[in-house]
Chain A
Amino acid sequence: MKFSEEFETRFAEMVPHYPTKRSALVPTLLYAQDEIGFLSDEVIAEIASRLDLTELEVRNVISYYSMLTTKPRGKFNVQVCTNISCMVRGGEELLQHCAKKLGIGHKQTTPDGLFTLEEVECIGACSWAPAAQVNYDFHENLTAEKMDRILDEYRKTGTQ
């Protein structure tokens, strides 16, 4: 199991910040997922052994957090908020629009592996609604047209 140097530096720095090793677990899982794409059996085994946990303990934590996934996702995870502030400004219609454009539903991935679509809860962009996140990038004050342009941009970078 090989992680990037950046991951290793961060991990080595983070662990001594806490009196117990396992405290580093949640952020470590997310950083690992960002590199590998998902939390594979191999990643889980590696992190469990590094933090002196059983794999079951790690899986138990993974299943609690909505950003963590044990299944591969598309290169770009399109997360559309439909919670209240976004809903009253067209968040649901925006999600529907993305579903149509990408031809996929909630938590599905396009056959080319580029996009995964996800309906998400409030992402803290309520005053700039409707909003979505693609991976970690925020996109706000969205319209269907704006979303089209954004998805086309990602498609372009993703197929280069």
Chain B
Amino acid sequence: MADLVFHPDEVKVVSRRFGLGATNIDRYVELDGYKAVQKALAMEPDAIIAEVKNSGLRGRGGAGFSTGMKWSFVPKQSAKPKYVLCNGDESEPGTCKDRLIFEHDPHSVIEGVMIGALAVGAKSGYIYIRGEYRYLSIIMQKAIRDAYAKGFVGKNIFGSGRDLDIYWHGGAGAYEVGEESALMESLEGKRGIPRIRPPFPAVVGLWGGPTVINNAETLANVPHIILGGADWFAKLGTPKNGGTRLFCLSGNIAKPGVYELPMGYNLRKMIYDVGGGIPNGRELKAVVPGGASCPCLTADEIDVAMDFDSVQKAGSMLGSGGVVVVDDAQCIVKFALRTMKFYQHESCGWCIPCREGTDWLKKTLIRFHAGGGVKKDIDNMQYLAENMLGRTFCPLGDAAAMPTIAFVKKFRKEFEEHLEGRPCPFEKENAAEPVLA
């Protein structure tokens, strides 16, 4: 449904089968599908984990944790059943990539979950898809049914004598449920309130059993690593950042779309070559490099290699791969306000610094943007956000605070231009009035 785009710099790994009809299981098999899981069946679990570790694959859900390392934390012996849980909640603003994987290559996710399960000794895997993605749930449910019908999943898979079940699960609208412990609560039929850690899910997860939780794109990479080898995958990217990434270019850019580029691809090139630059004769003002929770980079800060470590060094995060481009016609105060409105809305309310902090920041930004700001507000916003950092029960509080701090610090002048009852200098004529009171 969503349009595909192409660029010669792309390196197709997870998007290799996009547009090739691979939702059909026979077609998927023709395109090397379910070969990797058969190869994995013949491998020792430790060898699978070593391969994934050596590939330099890091979590595509946001935090960029080593996938092989995560798998190695799962205890070998466990009284309770172990599980693999695929996170397809995809709700970080700016991110629309897992959607394409589910739409075009659902079996690659199933295969990734299966290989993960073989590596950690799990007998069941769950694929959680956000409620809004109904058409993708239908595709995934069919893919799972087809895999059972072929005997690839279920009892005695590929005649190996091993049983492995894969199930679909659906959400019903909640960003916070993408947080791994809240995801487990949701799957268990509860409100998505995060759990205290430790114990980490790898030790005590779903229904008390050790659980590996990975993003859909992370898991879709796994079959390619098993078939192509760790070395091949590692060399696609930069040191410690193996492979490619689905970068979702959005915002004020000429050719928005989801492009698969090698890890470490230069951000300036991504915006100007791949994305075709800023349209309408406008200039670049800021980029949010990895989804709404990542601190923005200014137009002077975009000579950065898009891998986890380089973007972190540049003061932001690679996050979930959502690259949101903002031109000079946009008001940063308004952008900060919309970002905060989101976090305030999605805060689960469990802990005070996040619940009250996001609410106060939202209210202050609304007043500030409307021209009712005083100079002290600017420092107060920064101070409050800085004091949320590291003091909330789950990382959503940080996700709300980090971008706010960057907006205030890097665009202080724009905040000052809103002071003393002045109307927003960017407000377009006939600007929309907010529908929400």
Nearest opposing residue in chain A for B171, CB measure: A26
B423 close to A (CB within 8 Å): no
Nearest opposing residue in chain B for A67, CB measure: B173
B189 touches A65 (CB 8 A): no
A51 touches B189 (CB 8 A): yes
Interface residues of A in 109-160 (CB under 8 A from B): 117, 119, 121-129, 133, 136, 138, 140
Binds A, one of B244-252, B264-272, B371-379: B244-252
- Complex CA distance for A138 and B130, rounded to whole angstroms: 14
Least CB distance from B408 to A in Å reads: 17
- Complex CA distance for A139 and B134, rounded to whole angstroms: 14
A9 close to B (CB within 8 Å): no
Q: Of B2, B81, B345, which is in contact with the most chain A CB atoms at under 10 Å from its CB? A: B2
Give the B interface residue count (CB, 8 A).
64
Nearest opposing residue in chain A for B436, CB measure: A106
Least CB distance from B18 to A in Å reads: 14
| Residues in B neighbouring A51, C-beta threshold 8 A | 189
Q: Is the interface of A mostly helix, strand, loop or mixed?
A: mixed
Partner among A89, A95, A96, A124 whose Cβ is within 8 Å of the Cβ of B251: A89
Q: Of B1, B2, B93, which is in contact with the most chain A CB atoms at under 10 Å from its CB? A: B93
B292 close to A (CB within 8 Å): yes
A84 touches B93 (CB 8 A): yes
| Residues in B neighbouring A74, C-beta threshold 8 A | none
- Complex CA distance for A25 and B54, rounded to whole angstroms: 39
Least CB distance from A95 to B in Å reads: 6
- Complex CA distance for A99 and B134, rounded to whole angstroms: 25
- Complex CA distance for A138 and B436, rounded to whole angstroms: 23
B34 close to A (CB within 8 Å): no
Q: Is the interface of B mostly helix, strand, loop or mixed?
A: loop
A121 touches B2 (CB 8 A): no
Nearest opposing residue in chain B for A26, CB measure: B172
Q: Do A122 and B91 form a contact, CB below 8 Å, given A20-B207, A84-B338, A128-B2?
A: yes
| Residues in A neighbouring B432, C-beta threshold 8 A | 92-93, 95-96
B93 touches A85 (CB 8 A): yes
A122 touches B189 (CB 8 A): no
B221 close to A (CB within 8 Å): no
Q: Do A85 and B131 form a contact, CB below 8 Å, given A66-B174, A127-B256, A138-B1?
A: no
Q: Of B81, B135, B174, which is in contact with the most chain A CB atoms at under 10 Å from its CB? A: B174
A68 close to B (CB within 8 Å): yes
Nearest opposing residue in chain A for B430, CB measure: A93
A83 close to B (CB within 8 Å): yes
- Complex CA distance for A14 and B249, rounded to whole angstroms: 37
Q: Do A121 and B93 form a contact, CB below 8 Å, given A23-B188, A23-B189, A89-B251?
A: yes
A45 close to B (CB within 8 Å): no
A121 touches B346 (CB 8 A): yes
Q: Of A20, A23, A60, which is in contact with the most chain B CB atoms at under 10 Å from its CB? A: A23
Interface residues of B in 272-302 (CB under 8 A from A): 288, 292
Q: Do A83 and B342 form a contact, CB below 8 Å, given A27-B172, A64-B191, A126-B322?
A: yes
Binds A, one of B59-67, B105-113, B195-203, B323-331: B323-331
Interface set of A (CB-CB < 8 Å, partner B): 17, 19-20, 22-27, 29-30, 51, 60-61, 64-68, 82-85, 87-89, 92-93, 95-96, 99, 105-106, 117, 119, 121-129, 133, 136, 138, 140
Q: Could you list 26 examples of A-B contacts with CB < 8 Å?
A: A19-B207, A20-B188, A20-B207, A26-B186, A30-B172, A61-B191, A64-B192, A65-B131, A67-B131, A85-B322, A88-B324, A95-B435, A105-B436, A106-B436, A119-B435, A121-B175, A122-B92, A124-B90, A124-B99, A124-B130, A125-B96, A126-B250, A126-B324, A127-B248, A129-B250, A129-B256
Known: A88-B327, A96-B433. 15 other contacts (CB 8 A): A22-B189, A27-B171, A27-B172, A64-B192, A65-B171, A84-B93, A84-B94, A84-B339, A85-B324, A95-B432, A95-B435, A121-B342, A125-B2, A127-B248, A133-B132
Interface set of B (CB-CB < 8 Å, partner A): 1-3, 81, 90-96, 98-99, 130-135, 165, 167, 169-175, 186-192, 207, 248-252, 256-258, 288, 292, 322, 324, 326-327, 330, 334-335, 338-339, 342, 345-346, 348, 432-436
